[in-house]
């Protein structure tokens, strides 16, 4: 899934109805699995790699795959949940829960770019037949599913957000995702 989709869906599903809302721990946990990818992209751009090489060669190279595995680890997210609750640092529990929710959303929507979700226990990758972007692997279906989930989460979140600024940011993110969707499935 696209990173903003994770932020929106996780916030809708995990945000508490009463204070503390845990907004920031949820957003941070939703972002952590993809954080290394942004570092990778910056590194690849700084090296002057062409866009195609970045996503079809460099992305699959070591040590990047090993680095991506850490952020995408379900056991690591569960450890965050366990530590958060045993140490009564509930914000940490929400970071971990949001990481796990991100992983569970990625599991059915990644084909050959699937993550090693069970690091460090196993390097196995679940190759889903459906991709969230690759039109050779039902990408239109995956992208539609992702957009529907984002729109439902947005409809739920918008009236519940407290500040105008946060509503504008959410709306802008959804418009961007919508444009990306049209570019992918359009003619
Ligand atoms: Zn992800």
Query: Residue 187 pLDDT more than 80?
Result: no
* pLDDT reported for residue 172: 96
Query: Residue 182 pLDDT more than 80?
Result: yes
Which residue is associated with the tokens 């916030």? 11
Ligand 1 mean position, distance from CA 121 (Å): 19
Q: Is 131 helix (H, G, I), strand (E, B) or coil?
A: coil
Query: Residue 71 pLDDT more than 90?
Result: yes
- How large a percentage of the chain has pLDDT more than 70? 100
Q: Rounded to an integer, what distance in angstroms lies between the CA atom of residue 133 and that of residue 139? A: 5
Local confidence band at 113 (pLDDT 50, 70, 90 cut-offs): confident
Ligand 1 mean position, distance from CA 110 (Å): 9
Closest CA to 77 of 132, 17, 10, 130: 10
Please identify every residue whose CB atom is under 5 Å from ligand 1, which is an ion: 33-34, 106
Q: Rounded to an integer, what distance in angstroms lies between the CA atom of residue 104 and that of residue 90? A: 21
Ligand 1 mean position, distance from CA 170 (Å): 19
Ligand 1 mean position, distance from CA 56 (Å): 17
Return mean pLDDT, the chain. 94
| Mean pLDDT on 58-68 | 93
For the chain, domain boundaries: 3-185
How many residues belong to the chain?
A: 187
Ligand 1 mean position, distance from CA 106 (Å): 6
Neighbours of 125 (CB within 10 A): 18
| Mean pLDDT on 62-82 | 95
Ligand 1 mean position, distance from CA 99 (Å): 9
Local confidence band at 111 (pLDDT 50, 70, 90 cut-offs): very high
The answer to whether 4 touches 176, Cβ cutoff 8 Å, is: yes
- How large a percentage of the chain has pLDDT more than 90? 84
| Mean pLDDT on 174-180 | 95
Q: Give 144: exposed, middle or buried? Use CB within 10 Å, 0-12, 13-18, 19+.
A: middle
* pLDDT reported for residue 139: 86
Give the number of C-alpha atoms closer than 13 A to the C-alpha of residue 147, restricted to the C-beta side: 18
| Mean pLDDT on 124-150 | 91
Query: Residue 2 pLDDT more than 90?
Result: yes
pLDDT digits (tens, 9 = 90+) for 16-55: 999 999 999 999 999 999 999 999 999 999 999 999 999 9
Ligand 1 mean position, distance from CA 49 (Å): 23
Local confidence band at 112 (pLDDT 50, 70, 90 cut-offs): confident
Ligand 1 mean position, distance from CA 8 (Å): 13
39 Cβ neighbours under 8 A, 6+ residues apart: none
Can you give the three-state secondary structure of 20-72, one letter per residue?
CCCHHHHHHHHHHHHHHHHHHHHHHHHCCCCHHHHHHCHHHCCCHHHHHHHHC
Query: Residue 114 pLDDT more than 90?
Result: no
Closest CA to 119 of 61, 63, 71, 60: 71
């Amino acid at each position: 899934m696209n990173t903003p989709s994770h932020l929106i869906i996780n916030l809708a599903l995990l945000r508490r109805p009463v204070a503390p809302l845990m907004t920031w721990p949820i957003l941070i946990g939703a972002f952590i699995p993809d954080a290394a990818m942004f570092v990778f992209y910056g590194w690849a751009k700084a090296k002057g790699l062409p866009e195609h090489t970045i996503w079809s060669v460099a992305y699959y190279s070591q040590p990047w795959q090993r680095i991506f595995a850490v952020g995408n680890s379900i056991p690591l997210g569960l450890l965050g949940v366990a530590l958060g609750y045993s140490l009564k640092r509930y914000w940490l529990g929400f970071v971990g829960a949001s990481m796990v929710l991100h992983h569970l959303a990625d599991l059915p929507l990644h084909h050959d770019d699937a993550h090693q979700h069970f690091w460090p226990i196993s390097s196995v990758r679940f190759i889903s037949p459906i991709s969230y972007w690759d039109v050779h692997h039902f990408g239109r279906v995956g992208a539609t599913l992702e957009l529907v989930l984002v729109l439902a989460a947005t409809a739920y979140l918008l009236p519940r957000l407290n500040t105008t600024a946060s509503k504008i940011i959410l709306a802008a993110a959804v418009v961007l995702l919508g444009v990306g969707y049209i570019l992918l499935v359009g003619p």
